Chain A
Amino acid sequence: MPAIDVQHLTRRFGKFVAVDDVSFRVGEGEIFGFLGANGAGKSTTIRMLCGLLRPTSGTALVGGVDVSRDAEGVKRRIGYMSQRFSLYESLTVEENIRFFAGLYGLSEERYAERRRFALEMAGLEGRETMITRQLSGGWRQRLALGCAILHEPPILFLDEPTGGVDPISRRQFWRLIDQLAGEGVTILVTTHYLDEAERCGRVAIMHAGRLIGIGTVAEVKQVFADRPIVEVRVDQPVAAMQALDAMPEVEKTSLFGTAVHAVLKTPRAADVPVADRLRAAGLQVQSLVTVPPSLEDVFLDMIEKAGAR
Chain B
Amino acid sequence: MRRTLFLIRKELIELRRDPRLFGLVIIAPILQLTVLGYAATTDVWNVPVVVADGDRSPASRDLIAQFDGSPYFSVVDVVTSNAEIDPYLESGLGWMALSIPEGYGDEFHSATGATVQVVADGSDASSTTVALSYAASLVAGYAQRLVAARPGGQRVAQALVQPAIRVWFNPQLDSRDFMIPGVLALLLLIITANLTSMAIVREKELGTFEQLSVTPLRRWELVVGKLLPYALIGMVDVLLVVAVAVLWFQVPFRGSLLQLLLLSGVYLLSTLGLGLFVSTVSRTQQQAMMVVVFFFLLPMIFLSGFIFPIENMPQVIQYATYIVPLRYYLVIVRGIFLKGVGLATLWPSALALLAWGLAISTLAVSRSRKRLD
Residues of A within 8 A of B (CB): 47, 50-54, 71-72, 75-76, 78, 80, 82-91, 95, 98-100, 102-105, 131, 148
- From known contacts A71-B371, A90-B13, infer whether A50 and B6 are also in contact, taking CB-CB under 8 Å: no
Which residues on the A side are within 8 Å of B215 (C-beta)?
A: 75, 100, 103-104
Distance (Å) between the CB of A246 and the closest chain B CB?
Answer: 51
Which residues on the A side are within 8 Å of B212 (C-beta)?
A: 103
How would you classify the secondary structure of chain B's contact residues: helix, strand, loop or mixed? helix
Q: A82 and B13: CB pair below 8 A?
A: no
Q: B3 and A51: CB pair below 8 A?
A: no
Which residues on the B side are within 8 Å of A95 (C-beta)?
A: 10, 13
Smallest CB gap from B216: residue in A: A76
Cβ-based interface call for B90 (8 A): no
Q: A52 and B214: CB pair below 8 A?
A: yes
Q: B2 and A54: CB pair below 8 A?
A: no
Question: Residue among A80, A98, A103 with the most chain B CB within 10 A?
Answer: A103
Q: A75 and B216: CB pair below 8 A?
A: yes
Question: In whole angstroms, what is the CA distance A71 to B217 when docked?
Answer: 12
4 closest cross-chain pairs (CB), A and B: A102-B6, A84-B207, A86-B211, A103-B215
Which residues on the B side are within 8 Å of A98 (C-beta)?
A: 6
Q: A99 and B6: CB pair below 8 A?
A: yes
Point out the residue from A54, A82, A84, A88 that lies within 8 Å of B373, measured CB to CB. Answer: A54
Point out the residue from B18, B211, B213 that lies within 8 Å of A90, measured CB to CB. Answer: B18
Q: A99 and B10: CB pair below 8 A?
A: yes
Q: A103 and B6: CB pair below 8 A?
A: yes
Q: Name B145-199 residues within 8 Å CB distance of A.
A: none
Q: A88 and B214: CB pair below 8 A?
A: no
**In the complex, how many residues of chain B place their beta carbon closer than 8 angstroms to a beta carbon of chain A?**
26
| Binary contact track B104-122/A, C-beta < 8 Å → 1, others 0 | 0000000000000000000
Which residues on the A side are within 8 Å of B210 (C-beta)?
A: 47, 52, 80, 82, 84, 86
Q: A82 and B2: CB pair below 8 A?
A: no
A-B contact pairs, 13 of them (CB 8 A): A51-B371, A52-B213, A52-B214, A52-B371, A53-B372, A54-B371, A75-B214, A76-B216, A82-B210, A86-B210, A86-B211, A91-B14, A99-B9
Question: In whole angstroms, what is the CA distance A88 to B373 when docked?
Answer: 22
Cβ-based interface call for B206 (8 A): yes
Question: Residue among B207, B208, B214, B372 with the most chain A CB within 10 A?
Answer: B214
- From known contacts A52-B214, A103-B216, infer whether A88 and B3 are also in contact, taking CB-CB under 8 Å: no
Question: In whole angstroms, what is the CA distance A76 to B370 when docked?
Answer: 14
Which residues on the B side are within 8 Å of A78 (C-beta)?
A: 214
Distance (Å) between the CB of B15 and the closest chain A CB?
Answer: 9
Point out the residue from B3, B206, B211 that lies within 8 Å of A105, measured CB to CB. Answer: B3
Question: In whole angstroms, what is the CA distance A51 to B2 when docked?
Answer: 23
Smallest CB gap from A74: residue in B: B214
- From known contacts A100-B215, A104-B215, A104-B216, infer whether A88 and B10 are also in contact, taking CB-CB under 8 Å: yes
Q: B371 and A91: CB pair below 8 A?
A: no
Which residues on the A side are within 8 Å of B214 (C-beta)?
A: 50-52, 75, 78, 80
Which residues on the A side are within 8 Å of B216 (C-beta)?
A: 72, 75-76, 103-105
Which residues on the A side are within 8 Å of B208 (C-beta)?
A: 86-88
Question: In whole angstroms, what is the CA distance A88 to B210 when docked?
Answer: 12
Which residues on the A side are within 8 Å of B9 (C-beta)?
A: 99
Which residues on the B side are within 8 Å of A88 (C-beta)?
A: 10, 14, 208
| Binary contact track B5-23/A, C-beta < 8 Å → 1, others 0 | 1110110011001100000
Question: In whole angstroms, what is the CA distance A44 to B370 when docked?
Answer: 16
Which residues on the A side are within 8 Å of B206 (C-beta)?
A: 84, 86, 89
Question: In whole angstroms, what is the CA distance A86 to B205 when docked?
Answer: 11
Q: B211 and A82: CB pair below 8 A?
A: yes
Which residues on the A side are within 8 Å of B372 (C-beta)?
A: 47, 52-53
Question: In whole angstroms, what is the CA distance A252 to B211 when docked?
Answer: 45
Smallest CB gap from A80: residue in B: B214
Distance (Å) between the CB of B361 and the closest chain A CB?
Answer: 22
Which residues on the A side are within 8 Å of B213 (C-beta)?
A: 52, 75
Which residues on the A side are within 8 Å of B13 (C-beta)?
A: 90-91, 95
Question: In whole angstroms, what is the CA distance A90 to B213 when docked?
Answer: 20
Q: B14 and A90: CB pair below 8 A?
A: yes
- From known contacts A54-B373, A84-B207, infer whether A103 and B17 are also in contact, taking CB-CB under 8 Å: no
Which residues on the A side are within 8 Å of B207 (C-beta)?
A: 82-86
Distance (Å) between the CB of A157 and the closest chain B CB?
Answer: 9
Q: B2 and A105: CB pair below 8 A?
A: yes
Q: A47-B210, A103-B216 are in contact. List 9 more A-B contacts (CB 8 A).
A: A52-B210, A52-B214, A53-B372, A54-B373, A72-B216, A80-B214, A91-B10, A95-B10, A99-B9
